[in-house]
Structure 1
Amino acid sequence: MKVSSFNIMAILMCLLLATLTTIAQGQGTRVGFYRTTCPSVESIVRTAVQSAVQADPTLAAGVLRIFFHDCFVHGCDGSVLLDGPSSEKTAPPNLPLRGFEVIDAAKSQLETTCPGVVSCADISALAARDAVVLAGGISWQVPLGRRDGLVSQASDTVNLPAFNDSISVQISKFADKGLNIQDLVTLVGAHTIGTGACVVFRYRLYNFNGTNQPDPDINPSFLPQLRALCPEGGDDSRRVALDTGSVTRFDTSYFTNLRNGRGVLESDAKLWSDSTTRPIVQRFLGLSGLLGLTFNVEFGRSMVKMGNIELRTGSQGEIRRVCRATN
């Protein structure tokens, strides 16, 4: 029997919805945690994110990045949201983070509707999902029930994944958080939206590893474009799309760019050049009708997994009144 491509896609969409509905819930968190205590939590967060992203589409990447940077330090406990002279926000890897005002807006509304109930950590988890959806990704269910942490120190950010990490170092950093190689490639795929500053990749363009040559992982046809954006001695803070041609769209073109030698960050480019991670990138670059579904399903799954790193639940931590300060 001949099966049409339309029928195949319909079947895959049904499987996708079933998969995203049954993604394993984390230990200590569950879908519907606020069903009786704050039933409007998801709609309130969604409205705050939607308002911000409609006004500035680049904020979708910012909100998503906040959640990543939070989960890799003390787990997903909202510690990156705290202000302070030596808080996580002040560490170099976190200085470019933006979108904190989106979390604040959602928290303010929730404190009016359900005071003292919803944690800032859970708001961040929901906002990250909503940001992906608004950028064109597929939704997933977010297990909730996190509590907010009490500690935020810049010195604790030293093990955040870095722009120049080798694949072995990336694997090690993710493994330390209970995330495997597939999670690594999938979650770094978040770079399909967002930008990077010239300062974090200019070294690849002119004198890579002291060779006076560019990084050989860069496609020679892409090099003039990057050099024009980030000339020697130019503005370090100028920002460049990590997914050329699709900076605000959550799609698989990021992986296409990696395959074509158009990865901007060294750590990203190595996902293709290293034989350990390339097969996963190749899987996300499968048949054109399947690749978006495959990546979106895996991204939702890995986000749930990451969202349950080193949880604080029950009586641990607190429910902050405002996300920028402990009670």
Structure 2
Amino acid sequence: MDTIRALVFVFFFAASVSGSLVYNFYEASCPAAELIVRNTVTSTSFQDPSIPAKLLRLLFHDCFVEGCDASVMLEGNNTEQSDPANRSVGGFSVIESAKRVLEVYCPGTVSCADIIALAARDAVEIVGGPMIPIPTGRRDGMVSLASNVRSNIVDTSFTMDDMINHFSTKGLSLVDLVILSGGHTIGTAHCSSFRNRFKEESNGKFSLIDNNTLDSTYGDELMRKCSSVANPSVTVNNDPQTSMLFDNQYYKNLLSNKGLFQSDSVLINDDRTSKLVGDLANDQDLFFQNWAQSFLKLTNVGVKTGDEGEVRVSCATSN
């Protein structure tokens, strides 16, 4: 009964934030659209277990710049993809693969923006997260500028106030900030994204900058993996415990001072968010219910509908 009530709440919550988006938008024009996306995500994730986290990150990088309009997919000089902050973003080939199939069955019908949102939704469920019905009907944007990226993407070195300001400009609350940060329960990160937590000594070794926010044993492990002689392309798991499972372990890690990024650690060290972190660490159902709500809000950021934008034939180029 509690599960049913939660799903009903999510449905009405989604309807209240979806704007012009509609559930089953492609019911008549492309009935198999969501199934095609799901099958593509499932098959590629089976071949490459890193895909779900890449698709979730792709959604964030799309929606936070120009809104959820697939602007991050556009290729070319000075597009969003060309900015260094997007060089490690992956999952593009999965979206293009789904798009190619959809163009065979339903030419010029399903937007790349919807594919990204659906793929991220399916990716989370595939690795253990909740199933979330989401409305569709997004249109693809026609503007993609590298100059828009840095001012909109959250940096891993951000303070709490920095993150609050960034999220608020997208219509996302403090609670959304804490919940969506839980996406770090899956995926990996390059050492450069958290190198600011260490300082390099004269002998070439590293030491922790702040022992109060990062567990020393965990910090030593990270420093060994990311030493100056290591391959600069080396990555570590965002979640050192259950890196391939979408669960609430991320919040348990924060309680143990094992948040990988500075932007993770501030959540447990700030009075505005520490209690919620504790609640989420102790109740996975609470995390999943809140994730459904915050995820829906994320996929609604800056959407283009109706006569806005276009439906691209190829996600990499505008029509």
- Name the TM-score class by shorter chain: over 0.9
8 Å CA contact 2:198–2:207 kept in 1: the answer is no
* 1:312 corresponding residue in structure 2: 304
Q: Distance in 1 between matches of 2:260 and 2:231?
A: 17
C-alpha distance in 2, partners of 1:123/1:41? Answer: 9
1:29 matched to 2:21? The reply is yes
Give the superposed CA RMSD: 1.6
Q: 1:212: how far off?
A: 6.3
- Report the identity percentage: 38
Specify every segment of 5 or more residues in structure 2 that has no aligned partner in the other structure, as ranges.
none
Matches within 5 A, 1:67-78: 67-78=59-70
Aligned counterparts of 2:85 and 2:272: Cα–Cα separation in 1: 26
The letter of the residue matching 1:162 is D
3-state SS of paired residue (2:189): strand
Aligned twin of 1:17: 7
Q: What SS is found at the alignment partner of 1:240?
A: strand
Say if 1:207 and 1:214, in contact at 8 Å, map to a contact too.
Answer: no
Matched, 1:192 2:182: no
Q: What whole-Å deviation, never above 9, does each CA across 1:74-113 have from its counterpart, x for those lacking one?
A: 1000000111121111111111111111101110111111
User: How far apart, in 2, do the equivalents of 1:120 and 1:174 lie?
Assistant: 24
Matching residue of 2:209: 214
**Are the counterparts in 2 of residues 16 and 293 from structure 1 also a CA contact under 8 Å?**
no
Question: CA offset at residue 121 of structure 1?
Answer: 0.1
Give the CA deviation at 1:205.
Answer: 2.8
CA distance in 2, matches of 1:272, 1:261: 8
Matches within 5 A, 1:25-64: 25=15, 26-64=18-56
Q: Structure 1 residues 213, 60: closer, same or farther in 2, change over 3 A?
A: closer
Contact kept in structure 2, 1:198 and 1:235, CA below 8 Å:
no
The answer to whether structure 1 residue 271 and structure 2 residue 271 are counterparts is no
Q: Distance in 1 between matches of 2:192 and 2:71?
A: 26
Matching residue within 157, 170, 176 for 1:177:
170
Retained in 2: the 8 A contact 1:136–1:251? yes
Structure 2 counterpart SS, 1:48:
helix
Contact in 1 for aligned 2:75/2:81 (Cα 8 Å): yes
Matched, 1:259 2:252: no
Instruction: Give the drift of 1:233.
Output: 4.5
Q: Distance in 2 between matches of 1:186 and 1:268?
A: 11
Looking at structure 1, the residues matched to 159 and 233 of structure 2 have their Cα atoms a distance apart, in angstroms, of 24
Q: Pick one of 294, 300, 310 that aligns with 1:302.
A: 294
Deviations 1:5-40 (A, max 9, x none): xxxxxx432333333343322101011111111111
> Structure 1 residues 81-90 or 198-207, which shifts more?
198-207
- The change in CA–CA distance for 1:203 and 1:235 in structure 2 (over 3 A counts) is farther
Give the secondary structure class of the aligned counterpart of 1:24. helix
Q: Which residue of structure 2 lines up, in the alignment, with residue 99 of structure 1? A: 91
Indicate the residue corresponding to 2:236 in structure 1.
240
* Corresponding position of 1:160: 153
TM-score, structure 2 normalization = 0.94
Measure the CA separation in 2 of the matches of 1:279 and 1:204. 24
Match of 2:143 in 1: 151
Instruction: Give the TM-score, by structure 1 length.
Output: 0.92
